[in-house]
Structure 1
Amino acid sequence: MKNTTMRWLAVAVALISVAVSTPAQAAPAQPPPRRLNAVAYYGTLDVIARETLGIRARFTTIEGRPVVGLPVQFVTTGERWFMCEATTDFNGFAECRNGPIPPPISLANLLVNGYDAIFEGNRWFRPVMAHNNIGVG
């Protein structure tokens, strides 16, 4: 019986030494999300019709290549009211054309503070925001 215990102990020590010396296989690491550049362009506001004209933003990689298919939200600065959403095209532009402004949005706030174009990020790209002003058109 003593020999059997010694054999089991030797086998356990051998298995532990093999397990400790064998490197663990890690899952392939996914690269971290990349940074983007964002530029918002000056827009105009038709006060009588309560709609924005030509509010747009461009999203590119750090290297300057346009990014296609990003969902971009356009919101008022300060109040953060949602105005519209657009997807970037093949040139990296997202644009809201002739977007009606819902009643809770203050036209004065929009004219004074402008708007923000926001991409909330995904597994490939980090969140980014761009800001610009709106004038009466």
Structure 2
Amino acid sequence: MKHMTKRWLAAAAAVAALVAANPAPAQAAPTFQRQRLIATAYYGTMDIIARETLGLRARFITVGGRPVPNLIVNFVTTGERFPMCEATTDLNGWAECRNGPIPPPQSLANLLVNGYDAVFDGNRYYMPVSAHNNIGIG
């Protein structure tokens, strides 16, 4: 009987050593299918005297038409991506840069000629998206 107990203890120790040396593979985190968004930017203006952009707005919705709140949106010049301001979408999916700074002269010319982009860089749930529109002197 003593030999049988020793054998069982030896077998249990061997199994424990084997499990410790080769742990079970970690479970992969569930993968989420990131959703596509539709972004729309609206015509904005700038006040040269006050040296600020006015009313740069964009709306972000799902493909199904549902507004998406709490997205961080960067308003940048087209092409060179000079940052003008950052806004977060509200419950209706709107992000607005009410009065952002006017960029330096080179970027200002680019802004007037090429317009601006509202850019969402993406997150765990939504794919990156951007929208483009023009800006005028108001």
Q: In the alignment, is residue 63 of structure 1 matched against residue 25 of structure 2?
A: no
Query: Which residue is equivalent to 1:117?
Result: 118
**1 CA distance for matches of 2:37 and 2:89?**
13
Unaligned segments of structure 2, at least 5 residues? 1-24
**Percent same amino acid at aligned positions?**
71
Query: Which residue is equivalent to 1:108?
Result: 109
Q: 1:29: how far off?
A: 3.0
Q: 1:28: how far off?
A: 6.2
Q: CA separation of 1:114/1:26 partners in 2, compared to 1, >3 Å: closer, same or farther?
A: same
Query: Which residue is equivalent to 1:79?
Result: 80
Query: Which residue is equivalent to 2:130?
Result: 129
Q: In the alignment, is residue 29 of structure 1 matched against residue 30 of structure 2?
A: yes
Query: Which residue is equivalent to 1:49?
Result: 50
Q: CA separation of 1:104/1:28 partners in 2, compared to 1, >3 Å: closer, same or farther?
A: same
Q: CA separation of 1:105/1:87 partners in 2, compared to 1, >3 Å: closer, same or farther?
A: farther
CA contact (8 A) 1:58 1:93 kept: yes
Structure 1 residue identity aligned to 2:59:
R
CA contact (8 A) 2:75 2:118 kept: yes
Q: TM-score, normalised by structure 1?
A: 0.76
CA deviations 1:62-110 (Å, max 9, x no partner) are 0000000000001001221010000000010000101122436532211
Q: 1:27: how far off?
A: 4.4
Q: 1:119: how far off?
A: 0.4
Aligned length: 114
Root mean square deviation, CA, Å: 1.8
Partner SS state of residue 125, structure 2: coil
CA contact (8 A) 1:81 1:105 kept: no
Partner SS state of residue 129, structure 1: strand
CA deviations 1:16-70 (Å, max 9, x no partner) are xxxxxxxx99646322111000000000011222211100100000000000000
Q: CA separation of 1:105/1:94 partners in 2, compared to 1, >3 Å: closer, same or farther?
A: farther
